[in-house]
Amino acid sequence: MKQGKFITLEGIDGAGKSTQLAWIVELLQRVGKSVVVTREPGGTALGEQLRAILLDKTMAMHAETEALLMFAARREHLDKVILPVLAQGQWVVSDRFTDASFAYQSGGRGLDSDKLAILEQWVQGGLQPDLTLFFDVPVEIGQERVSQIKNRDRFEQEQADFFQRVRAAYLERVKQFPDRIRIIDSSQSLAGVKDAVEQTLQPLLNYG
């Protein structure tokens, strides 16, 4: 059976990833794809427990601990969800994946990206998403959008300078992998972002 495709959504908090997820699923289902939606950190029973720890704002941890827990959750996610689902010919859409580790743990927290590259190779081998949508917004807009959230998590509660570094690291990844990662201008209206998503997915929607 033909392998499914693996699509990941990236961007700073408040960029609009979760909002666009339903639209992406609808576009794929319209052309007959069977789609599994998942997220990181999380996506498995163990991964969701690690997510709870990682997002708990009372849980202080070393930046390397944070990175290792992210990759531990990812190892489980690949084994239990991503790889088996793709092998069955279904498509996987994940709200965040490894680019987020480079953006948050390296860009945001300042970890050496070479260390993350070792974990990436260890956990994923050569596996990369087929397509990554990077929802890009200026930090002020992202911050404004999450300012409504009452109980912000350990990442959402970070300050603007943290998100500036995260965004810059994402843009570095885009430069490094221009064929895989596509930028979506998410400062537009919801309708504008939806159109941009549809255009960007078009080549995959036409794929047999």
Ligand X SMILES: Nc1ncnc2c1ncn2[C@@H]1O[C@H](COP(=O)(O)OP(=O)(O)O)[C@@H](O)[C@H]1O
Report the interface residues with Mg ion, using CB under 5 A.
17-18
Q: Token pair for residue 115?
A: 């260390």
13 is an interface residue for ligand X by CB under 6 A: yes
Strand partners, 97: none
Out of 19, 124, 164, 200, the only residue in the binding site for ligand X (CB under 6 A) is 19
Is 18 or 124 the residue whose CB approaches Mg ion more closely? 18
What is the closest distance, in whole angstroms, from the C-beta atom of residue 10 to ligand X in the complex? 9
Cis peptide before 129 (omega within 30 of 0): no
Quote the DSSP letter at residue 127.
-
- From edge to edge, which strands make up the β-sheet containing 91-95? 35-39, 91-95, 6-10, 131-136, 181-185
Query: Which positions from 28 to 67 touch ligand X by CB under 6 A, shown as an x/- string?
Result: ----------------------------------------
17 is an interface residue for ligand X by CB under 6 A: yes
70 is an interface residue for ligand X by CB under 6 A: no
Interface positions, 128-167, toward ligand X (CB under 6 A) = 145, 148
Distance CA 167, CA 177 (A): 15
Is 20 or 119 the residue whose CB approaches Mg ion more closely? 20
Out of 5, 7, 15, 133, the only residue in the binding site for ligand X (CB under 6 A) is 15
Distance CA 94, CA 4 (A): 13
What is the closest distance, in whole angstroms, from the C-beta atom of residue 193 to ligand X in the complex? 5
Interface positions, 86-125, toward ligand X (CB under 6 A) = none
Is 47 or 119 the residue whose CB approaches Mg ion more closely? 47
22 is an interface residue for ligand X by CB under 6 A: no
Out of 18, 90, 113, 200, the only residue in the binding site for ligand X (CB under 6 A) is 18
What is the closest distance, in whole angstroms, from the C-beta atom of residue 115 to ligand X in the complex? 26
Spatial CB neighbours of 113, under 8 Å, sequence gap ≥ 6: 102, 106
Is 51 or 123 the residue whose CB approaches ligand X more closely? 51
Q: Among positive and negative, which fits the CA dihedral 8, 42, 33, 89?
A: positive
String of DSSP letters for 30-94: HTT--EEEEESS-SSHHHHHHHHHHH-TT----HHHHHHHHHHHHHHHIIIIIHHHHHTT-EEEE
